[in-house]
Amino acid sequence: MVLLRWTLTRTYLTSIGKTYSNSLRSAIPSSQRGIAFTMAKSYSSLLKDQAYVGGQWVSAASGETFQVTNPSSGEVLGSVPDMNAGDATKAIKIAYDAFQTWRETTAKERSLLLRRWFELIVEKKDTLAELLTVENGKPVAESLGEVNYAAVFLEWFAEEARRTYGDTIPAPAKSKRIVVVHQPVGVASMITPWNFPYAMVTRKAGAALAAGCTVVLKPSEETPLTTLAIVDLAHQAGIPAGVFNVVTCSRKNVEAVGKTLCTDPLVAKISFTGSTAVGKVLLKWGADTVKKASMELGGHAPFVVFDSADVDAAVQGAMVSKFRYMGQTCVCANRFLVQEGVYDAFCAKLEAAMAAQLKVGDGLDKGNTQGPLINTKAVEKVGTNTQGPLINTKAVEKVGTNTQGPLINTKAVEKVGTNTQGPLINTKAVEKVGTYTQGPLINTKAVEKVGTNTQGPLINTKAVEKVEAQILDAVSKGATVMTGGKRHALGGTFFEPTLLKGVTTDMLCTQQETFGPVAPVIKFKTEEEAVTIANSARVGLAGYFFSNNIGQIWRVAERMEVGMVGVNEGLVSMVEAPFGGVKESGIGVEGSKYGIHEYLNVKYICFGGV
């Protein structure tokens, strides 16, 4: 029955695009290379080797480029411009100039353009899904789910563009009238992650364009090809020149470009999805010019199972919540809290479900559900990663207890031992980090050990080292590995889905976001104890619990310190609902009727002498 429910859920996710997964960025052994290319490269027609600025495909002013590779095979997919701060400044000025006319378009005009963009994505969904799989490693079924999920944000905001209603307010004087209107904030700069390179573009840019803002977007250096492909469809849909711009850059220029996007006085709004540590840096950069900001940052989601719960339903919810895209999503369950009365039954059934339903392998093989971690470093860190991914494989190799944000580059990580909040500015700083806690593993090696490619590869080898570190720490303190616990036989960044029993709150896996396929299960006695543990994290993005006690459901739902709560449900993301967190998980929300208001200013107009 559980297997059937899991199969139906996966089919449902694929069909409506509500799958939350993180990229598969690993390298598989030489004996496995080329698997991803046995299929026809239908995605080739979507590949772009230039950035998109002012309605034109452009190169970096320096002429420099950087390569993009397939995390599963290591094969080079192509090269894109390695732009710098000067290129970003130029794009911002173009967006600012375009804003002067775009803001004057009618809501209906903007709505029709977004609707056409949506239709083009739906027409190309299969090809877009294939490109996503070869660039970030997630299973093709999940990739298709993300394409659909990305498309519906455009459909939604095409409709919301016409619903930015104002107000009339009764005035205290007979001769006055009070009117409130909403107006676009201006140029919005956006920085998107590698784990959802389609959906994060449309969730942010769809709202901004609907509101009448113009956009300058920097995609992750891991997945620029998918972003450029979807932007090409926006171009084909008729989005005017200068309204939507994309600047690409490698890790070498990421700090300079990011800082420009946050400090340029022509930028009015910053939107970022990524680690808490990096988000804090961006907020500091934007503070001098007091920019409006939306931050969707790291999570450390609790998943609570009470004695009154339907255990089978809880196991199903756990499978959906934990093992989507190899645990490399910000909202995936990271800490399992199970009441003592059902603890053993839950662990046994979860172990059986993992064995029956998870299959590790290359993302283009439709029989696989999990695939590699984004890179080898990502696998190394599944041991003790708590919040944000390290930018590259080197960054993960040495991470021991990093809890929140990724280091900006490898230099920054080289000397870090226990970085917990802020990112290291450069790659060197990352090379020595020991315990990455929240971000995804960057490469394929990280995923090689996963059983069912539903979540994606770890970002790099360092990410794998982190996963291993968390597991070793837990075992050294008394936890038992029920299944998994090591790198997959496929090699690279594949990691075996892991279940840990006998876990306690002093273990790293309960204190840090793993961003990998590890499910640590803690036993608790009382409701109060469970809520206290659940709320002990500094972050609060999502939380889940299973109970059939109606009073308990209301109490726990209200007391959980998170922005989103799943009650008897392991999947909460949908375009109609607001997506956002509390505490150090971010500022503002995306999606829903509230998302467009992140790109609007409220203006009060007083009419006198009436």
CB atoms closer than 10 angstroms to residue 122: 15
Tokens of 556: 């726990």
What is the C-alpha separation between 86 and 534, in angstroms, rounded? 45
- Terminal C-alpha separation, the chain: 70
3-state secondary structure of 239: coil
What is the C-alpha separation between 439 and 395, in angstroms, rounded? 12
The residue type at 340: E
300-309 burial code (b ≥16 CB/10 A, e <16): bbbbbbbbeb
Vertex 457, ends 367 and 465: CA angle to 5°? 135
Query: Would you state the torsion angle of the CA atoms of residues 454, 145, 299, 506, taken in this order, to the nearest 10 degrees?
Result: -20
Query: Closest by alpha carbon to 438, among 589, 565, 584?
Result: 584
What is the C-alpha separation between 261 and 216, in angstroms, rounded? 8
Residue-wise DSSP of 274-333: S-HHHHHHHHHHHHTTT-EEEEE----EEEEE-TTS-HHHHHHHHHHHHSGGGG-STTSE
Query: Closest by alpha carbon to 91, among 270, 268, 266?
Result: 266
Residues assigned a catalytic role: 296, 330
Instruction: Give me the residue label for tokens 């080079």.
Output: 76
For helices 343-357 and 2-16, give the axis angle rounded to 10 degrees.
60
Tokens of 85: 């701060």
